[in-house]
A and B are shown apart, each in its own frame.
Chain A
Amino acid sequence: MNMRLSYGMGFILLFVPCSLLVAFTHYPAFKALLNSFWNNGSSIRPSRFVGARNYEALLEDDKLMQVLSNSFIYAIGTVPLAIALAIGMALLVNSRLPATGLMRLSFFLPTMLPMVAVANIWLFFYAPGIGLASQILNAFGLPSINFLGSTDTSLVSMMVVAVWKEAGLFMIFYLAALQSIPTNLKDAARLEGAGSVRIFFDVVMPLLRPTTIFVAVNALINAFRLVDHIVVMTRGGPNNSSSLLLYYIYEVTFGFRDFAYGATLTVLMVVILGFMAAIQFWVLNRKAHYQ
């Protein structure tokens, strides 16, 4: 059991995961950073070193400003909503109601579907005139709404899809956390005369905090990472109203084939995400209660 590995063996064991990490994470990240200091070349116009010119372009890019504001609205809108819904659903399926198994399954179902399938389902919901949402509105005598074709509603429509898809996954984490809370804590609180609202906020919520940190970080990462539905449903339109940062990076890099500016945007995204993760851990960790 305590047999020491030789250095050679240790090196070999380390080499495999390290080379994978270097090849697929560190090298591309380093390369992106490097590319961001060169301009975009093609076969007939080789690229050359331009220093910080790509970063100056960031500041003058009106579209980037809109995309960033979309991304922040999207994150601020979807993360708390998905968490609140996940807690609500977890409480519901954790209670002693009939058919909780069926409820758990149906809440979790959207999570199991691939995002592209989800996007196609919602395309049908949203289609003006022929979609499900329009038919429900029409049944009440209301005019149909052009959800994806209007700059006012396209981003919100994307957020609804994301929350619908994500909340079920987070529910599972909350459900596990709820079931690990000892019942004697709640019994003691009840004995002291606390109502169920008081118990939830003063006993259950503090014990759920580590889960909340975990879920919040993941939800935030997903808010920046998942853009499959944008590709399928709106392609960032109309007039860039539903374009998110990662979609913009994809559009610039593979649509416009501007690898240099795409790399610059990627660096920006990594900086933003790193910064937010640091804040999140710092704020929430100070208040977290780990057992």
Chain B
Amino acid sequence: MNARMRTALPLVMSAAIACSASMAQAADLEFYFPVGVNAPAVATIEQLTNAWAAQNPQHSVKAVYAGNYEETTTKALTAAQAGDPPQVAVLLAIDIFTLIEEDVILPISDIATSDADKAWIDSFYDGFMVDTMFDGKVYSIPFQRSTPVFYYNKDAFRAAGLDPEVTPATWDEMVEMGKKLTVKDSNGNVTQWGTRIPNLGLAGAWLFGGLVKSKGDGLSTDTGTEARFNTEAAKASLEFLQRLADEEVMAPGGITWGDTPKAFLEGQAASIWTSTGNLAFINENAEFDWGVGFLPGGDGPGAPVGGGNFYIFKDITDEERDAALDFVRFMTTPENQAIWSMATGYIAPSQAAWETPEMQAYSERLPQALVALEQMPHAYREFATFQRARVTQYLVDAIEGVITGGTDAATALAEAQEKADEVLGEYR
């Protein structure tokens, strides 16, 4: 037994060495991705990764579904700090500052240097590129991007005597039309609210960014060191949310993100503000005539952009790096963007993708999908700074404090600003 093992061991070892030598040119990629929508996302990701692996038989790629965005970021960071990072991951665009601070990602503009690579980076819409940049470098590539739009029930508009083809463009119109859309039963209880804007948690803060944008301001800048909470625009936006509840256009108190599409489908809300990522879900389940419009705005249209981008990690071999870049380029070809966009409802992030025959046919079949694209020029980056999770929580606390009636807008925002400045001061 022992003798046999003694002879077998060198054989196995030399086989292993030979094996790894012959694989030197190849790369085994690990790719972490999150799923954040009601869509067959995993199957589509696997279909795309398998197609890449089939084209590149010398390489292999393992697509790892790592939970929601937050969990995926935590897993990727933990793996990177343990010295075994995934080569590629789709993580929130706004995680850029955290990833830079932890020093785990490569600037993609440093490795994608050929003319073809540069043309590829330039092919994405500017609105999706603003939050990929830091210090003049591009750190990520847009992939699953979304923006909220105004979904409305055309039947409810007709019942309220409103033109079903005209959506409210301003906050005043929203209040005015919303009052007509709010329906009460004989006991005086509301059975249908005029509108529904999720205002709790991170989703609430995301939508809030759109309100602020429509008043001509932004909550954060590209330096990652500035939070702009205590502004006239932010105050007006919070007061608008309060006004919707005061005038019985929207349910008072906290409104969750998750129940919003359901409330719309069940007729509890005549209109909702939610992500384009819900287009496919609402299209399949709505039993009434529905439409999509721009988000009503304060001084003009405004919306936040959100979603995830491709990042390439540090501390990987040169072969892995080249393979990772090739993989990201493959995943974001116009054809593959179109496949991904149609399967999920995410906005294809480049003009070329919208010009593919598949996307042309899709937008004819579901014209609502185009509204988000048309709204893109009015969209602004999602709130992002260093220590994002902590600083965003200050904003979330301020919004929740006001909508649940505890504090007034000016005090809440001033307090959030003070705390944010304290944290971000170290980074300036």
Which residues of A does B touch, CB under 8 Å?
42-45, 123, 127-130, 138, 141-144, 146, 148-151, 235, 237-241, 251, 254-258
Contacts and interface: CB of A to CB of B under 8 A. Distances in A.
B390 A256 contact: yes
Given A127-B259, A148-B254, A238 B400 contact: yes
Contacts of A123: 258
9 contacts: A129-B251, A149-B251, A151-B405, A238-B400, A239-B397, A239-B401, A255-B393, A256-B389, A257-B77
Nearest to B80: A43
Interface string B232-273: 000000000000000000011111101100110010100000
Contact of A150 (B102, B189, B254, B389): B254
Contacts of A146: 251-254
B98 A257 contact: yes
Nearest to B266: A130
The 7 closest A-B pairs by CB, nearest first: A149-B254, A43-B103, A239-B400, A238-B400, A238-B254, A256-B390, A129-B268
Interface residues of B, number: 39
Contacts of B268: 129-130
A235 B188 CA distance: 32
B353 interface: no
Contact of A254 (B74, B255, B387): B74
**Which of B102, B103, B252, B389: most chain A Cβ within 10 A?**
B389
A237 B400 contact: yes
Nearest to A138: B189
Contact of B189 (A130, A142, A148, A149): A142
Given A43-B104, A141-B189, A148-B254, A238 B259 contact: no
B256 to A, nearest CB: 7
A143 B259 contact: no
A123 B259 CA distance: 9
A257 B400 CA distance: 23
Nearest to A127: B259
A129 B263 contact: yes
B7 interface: no
B200 interface: yes
A179 B102 CA distance: 59
Contacts of B252: 146
Contacts of B98: 257
A150 B259 contact: no
B403 interface: yes
Given A130-B262, A148-B256, 8 more contacts: A129-B268, A141-B189, A143-B190, A150-B254, A237-B400, A239-B401, A255-B393, A256-B387
Nearest to A252: B390
B406 interface: yes
Given A143-B189, A149-B200, A238-B404, A255 B70 contact: yes
Given A148-B256, A149-B256, A239 B390 contact: no
A150 B253 contact: yes
A66 to B, nearest CB: 10
Contact of B102 (A42, A149, A151): A42
Given A130-B262, A254-B74, A256-B393, A235 B201 contact: yes
